[in-house]
Amino acid sequence: MGTITLEIPGASSATGATSVVAAQPRKLLWRLAEVVDVVRETPRTKSLVLEVPGWEGHRAGQHVDVRLTAPDGYQAQRSYSIASAPEDDRLVLTVDRMDDGEVSPYLTDELMVGDMLELRGPIGGYFVWEAAEGGPLLLVGGGSGVVPLMAMIRHRAAVGSDVPTCLLLSSRSYEEIIYREELEELPARDGSLEVFHTLTRARPEGWGGHNRRIDAEMLEEVGWLPEKNPLAFVCGPTPLVEAAGSALVDLGHDPARVKTERFGATGG
């Protein structure tokens, strides 16, 4: 299998950059995927629609590793959650651009339809959900942490599940809400899906939603009390995940039913 050759600004084998490599229970092979569409989600975020020959399928919540190779042989590798439902024909990765990153600027600014991308996966078996597991579902996300949660929502819709589901999403501004239009349309068609937003930095005039970071009071306000015994998934930056996860447990939620996935500064 060939590798992808590209220019990574300032990158060389001497940079000492650290790659994110997930623990893998089995040998995963690198494969080539073709970019068949690029969708702008926000000013900083794009979804890459990929055709992956021989893709064996995935579970909602899993991720893949993406690898880029520079002409001098230096490689940069990052992990990205899968945004598409297992039932979709094509694989979708949603990438948030990091200004000082090595990988995300290339994926969001340079990658075009027809290009090839090297990836391996799917990876992960803990932070996953299948409709057969039931619910209710309480999904809590921050920024691009909504991506694996969106895969769960899309999977739920694809199989016609009516499991009561609540998404509480924290974004910096209205313009930076990833999948904003889809998250407005889905609840209108599905009475068992609720979506709540909180904007932490900037809000449009007349904004009627929450306007602070997610906390225990907000989690209570959305109405998902411990008595409902929801299966909770929390994903986002480490501070948000730690705060929301701890708040859920402090409110009386069963720790065994609170699953968390966090991401930090990995170089993008």
pLDDT in tens, 136-184: 999 999 999 999 999 999 999 999 999 999 999 999 999 999 999 999 9
> Per-residue pLDDT averaged across 116-129, rounded?
96
When pLDDT is cut at 50, 70 and 90, the band that residue 264 belongs to is low
When pLDDT is cut at 50, 70 and 90, the band that residue 3 belongs to is very low
Tokens of 32: 């080539």
Name the CATH topology of 31-123: Elongation Factor Tu (Ef-tu); domain 3 (2.40.30)
Beta-bridge mates of residue 94: 47
Per-residue model confidence (pLDDT) at position 100: 85
Identify which of 94, 256, 230, 91 has the alpha carbon closest to the alpha carbon of residue 168. 230
Per-residue model confidence (pLDDT) at position 226: 84
Question: How many other C-beta atoms can be found within 10 angstroms of the C-beta atom of residue 145?
Answer: 25
- Global pTM reads 0.87
Q: How far apart are CA 42 and CA 268, in angstroms?
A: 17
Per-residue model confidence (pLDDT) at position 228: 87
Per-residue model confidence (pLDDT) at position 26: 58
Query: Which of the two residues, 264 and 215, has the higher pLDDT score?
Result: 215
The burial class, CB within 10 Å (0-12 / 13-18 / 19+), for 237 is: middle
Show me where the domains of the chain are located. Answer: 31-123, 131-263
CATH architecture of the domain formed by 131-263: 3-Layer(aba) Sandwich (3.40)
Per-residue model confidence (pLDDT) at position 258: 96
| Domains 31-123 and 131-263 equal at CATH topology level | no
Each residue of 215-259: pLDDT tens digit? 999 998 887 778 889 999 999 999 999 999 999 999 999 999 999
Average model confidence (pLDDT) across the chain: 88
Examine the pLDDT at 19 and tell me if it is beyond 80.
no
Per-residue model confidence (pLDDT) at position 64: 97
Per-residue model confidence (pLDDT) at position 263: 80
